[in-house]
Chains A and B, each alone.
Chain A
Amino acid sequence: MAGLELLSDQGYRVDGRRAGELRKIQARMGVFAQADGSAYIEQGNTKALAVVYGPHEIRGSRARALPDRALVNCQYSSATFSTGERKRRPHGDRKSCEMGLQLRQTFEAAILTQLHPRSQIDIYVQVLQADGGTYAACVNAATLAVLDAGIPMRDFVCACSAGFVDSTALADLSHVEEAAGGPQLALALLPASGQIALLEMDARLHEDHLEQVLEAAAQAARDVHTLLDHVVRQHVCEASVLLGD
């Protein structure tokens, strides 16, 4: 059997998108009432929830408190039914820990942590359905949740993945495209300044192509920003209507 053709001669990807197009993104803020901030995002079939608690007192050992800024604590977990084959545990495995760490690094770069010294901010993300680009979906959801919690940030953090097939950079890889085993790049961008909060690259890619892939990911992240910005504005509008302004 012939393998999957990731990019047809006509320039269409397996799911019908063109190289630079994102999947359909839908998002909502304020999903839960009990948490300080929460958000839900769908990027195609990848669905993630993010919840933020804090800033609050340090939980557990006080020694962890940082004198000059807030401690950002992240946990990534992915529902046992989220993947094609059932996962045995939702979190605590190596991949989840790594994701948690990456999220933490990403948000330490974005949240104005020095405004809340000696306190803690919890960001919990939960992947409900995984179809590629889970890291990006989590970052985007977490951005909305942090905004929902009213925690000051330098900028949005917008993330997107990109791959490289047949000398073409593909934005926002789906699971099939990821599974094909080509190079993958995950990028978290602070769109206003164009600064990179996180960059991760798997598999080998020729140095000459890096710029092209990076640009595709950055462009996709900027597109994500436009969408998220819209979601936030919509949410604020709705909230103010409810408040009766």
Chain B
Amino acid sequence: MASVALSEAEKVYIVHGVQEDLRVDGRGCEDYRYVEVETDVVSNTSGSARVKLGHTDILVGVKAEMGTPKLEKPNEGYLEFFVDCSANATPEFEGRGGDDLGTEIANTLYRIFNKSSVDLKSLCISPREHCWILYVDVLLLECGGNLFDTICIAVKAALFNTRIPRVRVLEDEEGSKDIELSDDPYDCIRLSVENVPCIVTLCKIGYRHVVDATLQEEACSLASLLVSVTSTGVVTCMRKVGKGSLDPESVFEMMETGKRVGKVLHASLQSVLHKEESLGPKRPKVGFLG
């Protein structure tokens, strides 16, 4: 994370701006920056997405692999999250430098995905024996503030893009099973991402809070609240981060803002994804070349 060193005067300028609902880059307190989303950027994954939010650049690859269901949930598949804070983002992440942050983000992702987020039963191939494990690997390429939100958007987009090959379980008289893969590459399962939540990070700056804080704004904030919201506005998880403290009243306020902003965010993400999909497989891919 490119560190920002701000002078006192700069901080005051930012805080006062927020007070007036006018941020340094001209946005209001509840406005996101311009988000760029592109899916299917890594062709050898089951699904992938790249999301750019300001200078924050996230690449997510989803790989479906076959495995055994967990003992306690014999008829469900599961998701595994891994976050790689690449040294690309900052030299500080070199070697094991990014591991702590990576683990923190991965844990957050585990927490916000609950039972109803993804239909895990559809990932089961045969109970107790075979299921799909979706490895959701997040690669942090550049960091310009508001990591959590960006990552969530990217994860959701990648899951939307995920295509799992359809397999049939063939069972003979003796009950032994064999797995057969469909030889039609178009024959695949899509996941419903309707209920996949997104995090809206609300940064407490002065007396107000803003969404999608830039690095500079984050430097002015002592505490923020992560609210994970589904497209219907249901809050699935909430977490306070940062070294400062929050008063209960503002927590409620922030939660309400989170719900409101989250719904809009989901709606626009959904429409972008569908629009991209409608272009079909012949759509020119931009990736990192544009």
Contacts and interface: CB of A to CB of B under 8 A. Distances in A.
B52 to A, nearest CB: 10
A32 B141 contact: yes
A194 interface: no
B63 A45 contact: no
Q: Which of A26, A51, A90, A128 has the most CB of B within 10 A?
A: A128
Interface of A: 26-28, 31-35, 38, 40, 42, 45, 47, 49, 51, 53, 59, 73, 75, 77, 79-86, 90, 92, 122, 124, 126, 128-129, 131
B94 A84 contact: no
Given A49-B141, A51-B88, A122-B91, A80 B43 contact: no
Given A79-B61, A79-B84, A28 B55 contact: no
Interface of B: 2, 42-45, 48, 55, 57, 59, 61-63, 65, 82, 84, 86-91, 94-96, 135, 137, 139, 141-144, 287-289
Contact of A77 (B43, B55, B57, B86): B86
B212 to A, nearest CB: 17
A26 B289 contact: yes
A75 B135 CA distance: 24
Nearest to A88: B82
B27 to A, nearest CB: 19
A80 B91 contact: no
A59 B91 contact: yes
Given A34-B55, A92-B96, A45 B141 contact: no
Contacts of A81: 42, 44-45, 48, 61-63, 135, 137
Q: Which 4 A-B pairs have the closest CB atoms?
A: A81-B61, A40-B288, A124-B87, A80-B137
B142 to A, nearest CB: 5
Nearest to B82: A80
Contacts of A31: 288
Given A28-B288, A35-B88, A75 B142 contact: no
A77 B59 CA distance: 14
